[in-house]
Amino acid sequence: MLTIGDQFPSFNVQAVQGGPAGLKLDTAFVDITEKSDAGKWKVFFFWPKDFTFICPTEIVAFGKLKGEFADRDTVVYGASTDTEFVHLNWRLHHEDLKGLAIPMLADTKRELSEALGIISKSAGVALRATFIVDPDNVIRFVSVNDLDVGRNPQEVIRVLDGLQSDELCPCNWQKGEEFLKPAA
């Protein structure tokens, strides 16, 4: 699995756009690559399968925080190995996903998931992996959960705040709190 300090891999996938454009067949699909939103911080979070139980709770939670991520010059991408058509169908038929503001990447060929090393050996789907990638496409944070346990997007924001501060941040540090200062 790729980890801290590794370059995020090159990729080119279809995605269902976030927002209202993602709900119309003639505007739903867009290509996303590692060059999309160049110069911004990026959060990539992967889920195992569409039309499941835990996944929409995470997707909706990340979507609701899109503005907070945008305030930090950060773009959020959700992804699974399902096709863009499955993503679109799920958005159209899951009430909580209709208003989703973030794109849903379709890693159908599993090239990105495999390059990241996040395919579950037992289930053959993407693990619940989260990556924070800096503007130079360097991975700065990685977290992977078991397939049965959802993650906390607020923790991703907390870590992003710490990374963007370029300071020493103690355990449970929150934006606005004091940083650690090394002894002189």
- What is the predicted pLDDT for the residue at 100? 97
Work out the burial of residue 50: count CB atoms within 10 Å of its CB; fewer than 13 is exposed, 13-18 middle, 19 or more buried: buried
Beta strand pairing status for 29-33 and 12-16? Answer: antiparallel
Q: Which amino acid, one-letter code, is at 116?
A: L
The CATH number for 12-151, chosen from 3.40.30.10, 3.90.180.10, 3.40.50.300, 1.10.1040.10, is 3.40.30.10
The closest alpha carbon to 149, from 31, 62, 48, belongs to: 48
Listed by start position, the domains of the chain span 12-151
The closest alpha carbon to 82, from 42, 100, 115, 55, belongs to: 55
Q: Which residues are catalytic?
A: 55
Structure tokens at 74: 């950060």
- What is the predicted pLDDT for the residue at 46? 98
- What is the predicted pLDDT for the residue at 184? 75
- What is the predicted pLDDT for the residue at 57? 96
Stretches where the chain sits below pLDDT 70 are none
Q: What angle do CA 109, 110, 111 make, to 5 degrees?
A: 90
The residue with tokens 């709770």 is 57
- What is the predicted pLDDT for the residue at 65? 98
- Who contacts 85 (Cβ-Cβ below 8 Å, separation ≥6)? none
